[in-house]
Amino acid sequence: MKPTSFVPTVGGISPGEVGEIPGLEAAISHWTEESRSAEEWFRELNAGWGTAGFVVRRGDEPQGFVVYGPREYLPHAGAYPVGPLAEDAVLLACVAGDARTRRRLLVRMLRDLRHRGVGRVEAIASDRGARHHVPTPFLLESGWKPVRRGWYGGSPYTLVRTDLGNAVEVGELARGLVGR
């Protein structure tokens, strides 16, 4: 029997492992309006755009995940009356796990996107913590800025944004996240 590591690891989500990550298929189904499976979605994005998510594991056990990508690959974003979304922004769709895991995943996502030259990230955050969304308070506490609010399905949502202006700013944002 192999001992389980106490140190969590972060890795990109591959199409072949989506079934091993609880909640991931449902999150992709929500944001893609059931247009494709999570495996198909990750295969398409990884091939044409690059990494679209990370998973934190402790040993073999997933502890949480983050999903993001160009908004055209997340069509349900258009249903929320908080837009318009910025043309040049990447959309953070969902982050799952405990608070520490979510912070670790956000830091990894921001670092990945900054290295890819992305200048802005937006999220349609849930003010009430709806499934498949990032909680609004979590992002606001993490330094993201509110842009617009709106109601959808009887619940409030907030479009939030963070700019990845330069490596120093991203580093400061990451240090702020990790320090919480």
Examine the pLDDT at 115 and tell me if it is beyond 90.
yes
- The per-residue pLDDT for range 123-162, each reduced to its tens digit, is 999 999 899 999 999 999 989 999 999 999 999 999 999 9
Percent of the chain with pLDDT over 90: 81
Average pLDDT for the chain? 91
Strand ranges in the chain using DSSP code E only, listed in sequence order: 9-12, 53-58, 61-70, 90-96, 120-126, 145-152, 155-163
Examine the pLDDT at 178 and tell me if it is beyond 90.
no
Cis upstream peptide for 3 (omega within 30°) = no
Sign (positive or negative) of CA dihedral 125, 128, 129, 132: negative
- The per-residue pLDDT for range 66-99, each reduced to its tens digit, is 999 999 999 999 999 998 999 899 999 999 999 9
Strand ranges in 23-115 using DSSP code E only, listed in sequence order: 53-58, 61-70, 90-96
Nearest to 139 by CA among 165, 113, 176: 176
Q: Is 93 helix (H, G, I), strand (E, B) or coil?
A: strand
- The per-residue pLDDT for range 9-60, each reduced to its tens digit, is 999 999 999 999 999 999 999 999 999 999 999 999 999 999 999 999 999 9
